[in-house]
Amino acid sequence: MDREGKTVSDAAESGEKISFRDVRAEILRRITIGPWGPGTLLPGEVELAQEFGCSRTTINRAMREISDLGLVDRRRKAGTRVRTTPLRAARFEMPIVRAEIERTGASYRYALVQRGVEPAPDWLRAQMNLTPKDRVLHVVCVHYAGGAAFQLEDRWINLAALPQAEAEEFSRTGPNEWLIATVPFSEVEVSFTATGADALVAAHLDHQPGDPVFIVERATWWQGAAITFVRMSYRKGYRMTTRY
Amino acid sequence: MDREGKTVSDAAESGEKISFRDVRAEILRRITIGPWGPGTLLPGEVELAQEFGCSRTTINRAMREISDLGLVDRRRKAGTRVRTTPLRAARFEMPIVRAEIERTGASYRYALVQRGVEPAPDWLRAQMNLTPKDRVLHVVCVHYAGGAAFQLEDRWINLAALPQAEAEEFSRTGPNEWLIATVPFSEVEVSFTATGADALVAAHLDHQPGDPVFIVERATWWQGAAITFVRMSYRKGYRMTTRY
DNA sequence: CCTTGCCTCATGTGTAGACATAACGTTATC
DNA sequence: GATAACGTTATGTCTACACATGAGGCAAGG
């Protein structure tokens, strides 16, 4: 956060305009080290605007961003209160695999492993909220980085919601890229976990069965209808990292 | 996203004020399904304000939020362009373990496993950018949910940056909560991965050595100085989930 | 032709003011 | 006394306007 090099008093002294950044930094300071510990009810926006010598709009923007960070709760009339359990939210950017691989300078290669239309298995019906008669397209493919397997993609596409998927071969590019270019989505659920490699994963990612594998699963909906569910297994040693 | 139940034309017809939500929804629609595919240069804010019949400020807020989502690039003079590879950013809320456990209704219990001041091992010196003479406090503890081990916390605190940590026992509450209440932080790096359980993890999380374990590592800095590094190992079957 | 420098324009951010909305707390009514 | 109505108040959002900032592009000069 605190990348802004000047303090509020600096800005005030020099007669410069107060930026919402200055306000944000100062309020963050007061919450983290200053007098506004967990549970504190902060002064109202009008009062703060007076104190900082800026308009309420500026205070509002600073407060809104701090609220977005998860450090305070804001309610009309009730005011702004510092959360007792600050839940710093981290942002994870999830690029498509191809971009992630090419960004590292490695060459990207794609290989289709399996493709077929199947009745949805029970766990998938539960996960995607499908009816028993819904058909799904099941695609398994591998993304390689510099010659070595990087990620195994195990994807299910709801043909009731996306019938045109049945005409796609996915022999040269992955369903990932096709989907991004083709369908919008309104809601996404992502989860991370670790499991032991099964036979499929072991075979394609060069693992021993049972080896720990980092898993990302993502379910996507559009206007209430399930579009696709994907389970991505990463090669050994993969780390997903973010800074904030 | 599309939770707003009315369209822009609805709002315009009824003579209601256009909300930045309406604008955001409509622009998202045009980007995902409408005519503004990847690479499109969007109209300027002034033009959009005219089209939507609202002020430029409202357009600006809508655009800023869409930009925060990672769907467009905005540059002064250059204008707003739809990204070719939309990198939808996901937000992960990371509450402290205690809150995470109690939220599920399970009872929380804490146990200290080990505590001592040690010279920093090489990998940690590299990770936290420490000098050879820096001393670190090493704390290992376990967080239980409803009687079963939930998370093993393996933490290192830089005593050069935080000497008062040496006086803490951490016998009743974890270093996690103490740190949150005590020190601010300016920068955080989080990473997720999967590894096989080592002896320590196996012993305290009821695993077999080599069992897949979901790992979260977090390094925290304050004004350039490393504060703490923590490696959290989760019990079998743990999933970290988020919707957006 | 290439470079340098200015002009212009799109976004970034600030101000003051107004009305909307939600919720707390009090008052009035049954 | 319980409940319903209402006024007060803090945040939410929109407007209109102004100036700042950064970058693309044109033009003058070498």
pLDDT tens string B66-105: 998 888 999 888 899 988 877 667 777 777 888 888 888 8
Across the range B157-180, mean pLDDT stands at: 88
Q: Within this chain, do residues A66 and A118 fall inside the same structural domain, yes or no?
A: no
Q: For residue A18, what are the domain limits?
A: 8-82
Query: What is the spatial distance between Cα B223 and Cα A1, in angstroms, rounded to a whole number?
Result: 10
Across the range A167-189, mean pLDDT stands at: 82
More confident residue, B150 or A242: B150
Residue A101 lies in a domain: yes
Q: Is the CB of A50 less than 7 A from some atom of nucleic acid strand C?
A: no
Residue B87 lies in a domain: no
Q: Within this chain, do residues B127 and B211 fall inside the same structural domain, yes or no?
A: yes
pLDDT for the residue B90: 72
More confident residue, A15 or B154: B154
Residue B26 is part of a domain; what is its CATH number? 1.10.10.10
Is A233 a residue whose pLDDT tops 60?
Answer: yes
Nearest CA in chain A to B192: A240
Structure tokens at A55: 């308009």
Q: Within this chain, do residues B165 and B122 fall inside the same structural domain, yes or no?
A: yes
User: Could B242 and A38 be called an inter-chain contact, meaning their C-beta atoms sit closer than 8 Å?
Assistant: no
A1 contacts in chain B (CB < 8 Å): 186-187
Q: Within this chain, do residues A105 and A76 fall inside the same structural domain, yes or no?
A: no
User: Could B188 and A90 be called an inter-chain contact, meaning their C-beta atoms sit closer than 8 Å?
Assistant: yes
**Residue B49 CA to C17 C1' — how many Å?**
20
pLDDT for the residue B184: 64
B24 contacts in chain A (CB < 8 Å): none
Is A189 a residue whose pLDDT tops 60?
Answer: yes
pLDDT for the residue B11: 45
- Express each pLDDT in B185-223 by its tens digit: 667 888 999 999 999 999 999 999 989 999 999 998 876
CB–CB of B18/B59 below 8 Å?
Answer: no
pLDDT for the residue A25: 86
Q: Within this chain, do residues A113 and A28 fall inside the same structural domain, yes or no?
A: no
**Residue B28 CA to D9 C1' — how many Å?**
35
Confidence of residue A15 (pLDDT cuts 50, 70, 90): low
Q: Within this chain, do residues A78 and A102 fall inside the same structural domain, yes or no?
A: no
Q: Within this chain, do residues B132 and B210 fall inside the same structural domain, yes or no?
A: yes
* Closest chain A C-alpha to B208 CA, distance in angstroms: 12
Q: Could you count the other beta carbons within 10 Å of the beta carbon of residue A30?
A: 15
Is A7 a residue whose pLDDT tops 60?
Answer: no
More confident residue, B98 or A214: A214
Of the candidates B133, B134, B153, B132, the residue with the CA atom closest to the CA atom of residue B142: B153
CB–CB of B114/B138 below 8 Å?
Answer: yes
Task: Tell whether B69 is within 8 A of chain A (Cβ).
Answer: no
Confidence of residue B15 (pLDDT cuts 50, 70, 90): low
Residue B2 lies in a domain: no
pLDDT for the residue A1: 38
Q: Within this chain, do residues B176 and B106 fall inside the same structural domain, yes or no?
A: yes
**Residue B25 CA to D10 C1' — how many Å?**
28
Nearest CA in chain A to B70: A93
Across the range B47-64, mean pLDDT stands at: 91
Residues 6+ apart with CB under 8 A from A239: B191, B192, B193
Is B7 a residue whose pLDDT tops 90?
Answer: no
Q: Within this chain, do residues A136 and A206 fall inside the same structural domain, yes or no?
A: yes
Residue A159 lies in a domain: yes
* Closest chain B C-alpha to A196 CA, distance in angstroms: 6
Is B23 a residue whose pLDDT tops 80?
Answer: yes
Is A205 a residue whose pLDDT tops 90?
Answer: yes
Residue A196 lies in a domain: yes
Q: Within this chain, do residues A153 and A221 fall inside the same structural domain, yes or no?
A: yes
Confidence of residue B16 (pLDDT cuts 50, 70, 90): low
A93 contacts in chain B (CB < 8 Å): 70, 87-90
b/e per residue B24-48 (b: at least 16 CB within 10 A): bbbbbbebbeeebeeeeebeebeeb
Confidence of residue B108 (pLDDT cuts 50, 70, 90): very high
* Closest chain A C-alpha to B50 CA, distance in angstroms: 23
Q: Please state, rounded to an integer, the average pLDDT across all residues of chain A.
A: 85
Q: Which nucleotides of D are covered by protein (CB under 7 A)?
A: 8-18, 20-24
* Strand D: residues with CB below 7 A: A 42, 44-46, 56-57, 60, 63-64, 67, 74-80; B 17-21, 53-58, 61, 75-78
Confidence of residue B63 (pLDDT cuts 50, 70, 90): very high
Residue A3 lies in a domain: no
Domain boundary among B39, B55, B82: B82
Q: Could you count the other beta carbons within 10 Å of the beta carbon of residue B199?
A: 8
Q: Within this chain, do residues A66 and A180 fall inside the same structural domain, yes or no?
A: no
Residue B108 lies in a domain: yes
Is A201 a residue whose pLDDT tops 60?
Answer: yes
More confident residue, A221 or A7: A221
Number of domains in chain B: 2
Is A94 a residue whose pLDDT tops 90?
Answer: no
Residue B136 lies in a domain: yes
Domain boundary among B53, B82, B111: B82
Residue B165 is part of a domain; what is its CATH number? 3.40.1410.10
CA B109 and chain centroid, separation: 24
Q: Within this chain, do residues B46 and B19 fall inside the same structural domain, yes or no?
A: yes
Domain boundary among A59, A82, A105: A82
